[in-house]
Structure 1
Amino acid sequence: MRRTCRDSAKARPRPAADGSLTLALLLFGGPALYLATTAWFFHATAGGAWKERLLAAAVLAVIGTAAVWLAPLASLVLLDIILITTAVILTRTRRTRIPHGPNDVPPSRSGGMDGGAA
């Protein structure tokens, strides 16, 4: 039996079709889990930028819930917007925490225990 283009078009998912629970979990579950665990890690150890990560994980959970009813392409665009925004915010947060004063400078990596001073 010969397959036609019309038969193969039926088998392919359409980007404008409705989303599914599986797609929402695959798209949003991984990044949300990663951001939640790194938020916990930074809160428990360094204390830096954990609130931003936790907020991004919560936004991913909310949008992931709504992604069940959104088109897959719209879900992917929302995921990209959230992750790019999170990356920009975390980059700015890191830049503001760079030491500025002479007493805040971390020890040199090339030196020994005394910070590289002779």
Structure 2
Amino acid sequence: MNLALWIIAGLLAATFLASGVLKLTQSQEKLAAAAPFGGAGLMRLVGVLEILATAGLILPAALGIAEVLVPVAAVGAAVLMAGAVTFHLRRREAQGVVVTLVLLALAVVVAWGRFGPQSFTS
């Protein structure tokens, strides 16, 4: 179970890192077109949050410092994905909703596992 949680956290971290870097490096025009009701500023904020989620999912456990931050980061990622589901539903993007729901489910699994049976503190 511990290995599975590490793999899931790694996949989530890789996905959030790629998405966050993309959001932070795209032009203002592209970001504004992608989120007309939130604008480029909102998309950049989401990019920063995704990169923070990447760090929170991996670094505390890998370094052995404040490991409780791993499930906290997973909860934050789940909240972020819940907002993304709403975003994609408003835009009627079925594929975006499905991908985001998968990421949401994976983040919930990591949060459950790291707060519960495979906690770093037990």
Fold match by TM threshold 0.5: no
Rg comparison, structure with higher value: 1
Give the structure-1-normalised TM-score.
0.39
Q: Which has the higher helix share?
A: 2
Give the structure-2-normalised TM-score.
0.38
